[in-house]
Homo-oligomer: A and B are copies of this chain.
Amino acid sequence: MRYELYYWPGIQGRGEYVRLALEEAGADYTDAARTERGMAAMMRMMEARKGTPPFAPPFLKAGKLVIGQTANILLYLGSRHGLAPKPEAGRLWVHQLQLTVADLVLEIHDTHHPLGPSLYYEDQRAPAKKRSEEFWNARAPKYLGYFEGLLKGNGGSYLTGRRLSYVDLSLFQIVEGLRYAFPNRMRAFERNIPGLIGLHDRVAARPHIKVYLASDRRIAFNEEGIFRHYKELDL
């Protein structure tokens, strides 16, 4: 089966967590909304009155299913492609961690959009400065310290179990994104999370991921996505 991934063209955004899982799995998929026709199809699917119209991208068409919400898509893919444990306890645990990553992603987004997604960054620069400060003082240490602790507690190779799961891929993306958005702050912070940095490097070196990152399927970071580099937010 060929999957169709639907996500805003031109940014990594939340679609990237799904792309990394599809790429690692070597799954057959198209990044459907990167053509004009695919983009129009995406809008139609969201506006459908019947069936299961998603609230927002990303969503995945898998045969007749249309699955929305990043973590929900990964829940579906994980069990099919060996990217999550099959037994219920392990499956729920990996999903729980992915939902915690989703919370972190939203807090990262809010560093540049504290007044909400409907206003431009330029209209919320001062609150964005304050929120970025709070993020690096309190939230980043709490979230990343939590994942660092789990990694250590699990032996250091993967976040859970003895094999790579989709949440390891997502944490690679978190490190990569924070390095792009906040190079100065991240440089100072990395000494606190040696385990996560190691995990990042191991994920980047995996054969499928390595090929993907060097391909034009990997969209470059930019100031339309979740991770945005604004000099004034990075000390």
Contact = CB atoms under 8 A, between A and B. Distances in A.
A184 interface: no
A135 interface: yes
Given A67-B92, A67-B96, A100-B55, A115 B118 contact: no
A53 to B, nearest CB: 8
Contact of A54 (B89, B96, B117, B149): B96
Interface centre among A55, A75, A137, by most chain B C-beta atoms within 10 angstroms, is A55
A31 interface: no
A110 B114 CA distance: 8
Given A55-B100, A93-B52, A131 B153 contact: no
Contacts of A191: none
B153 A49 contact: yes
A230 interface: no
Contacts of A116: 107, 110, 114, 131, 134-135, 138-139
Interface string A90-129: 0011011001100100110010001111110000000100
Given A116-B107, A153-B50, A69 B138 contact: no
Interface of A: 49-50, 52-55, 64-65, 67-69, 71-72, 75-76, 89, 92-93, 95-96, 99-100, 103, 106-107, 110, 114-119, 127, 130-131, 134-135, 137-139, 143, 146, 149-150, 153
Closest 10 CB pairs of A and B: A118-B138, A69-B99, A116-B134, A114-B114, A127-B127, A55-B100, A69-B96, A72-B96, A68-B96, A115-B131
Given A53-B150, A116-B134, A127-B130, 12 more contacts: A54-B96, A55-B103, A64-B89, A69-B100, A72-B92, A72-B99, A110-B116, A114-B115, A114-B131, A115-B134, A118-B134, A118-B138
13 contacts: A49-B153, A64-B89, A67-B92, A68-B96, A69-B96, A71-B99, A72-B95, A76-B92, A107-B116, A114-B131, A115-B130, A116-B135, A118-B134
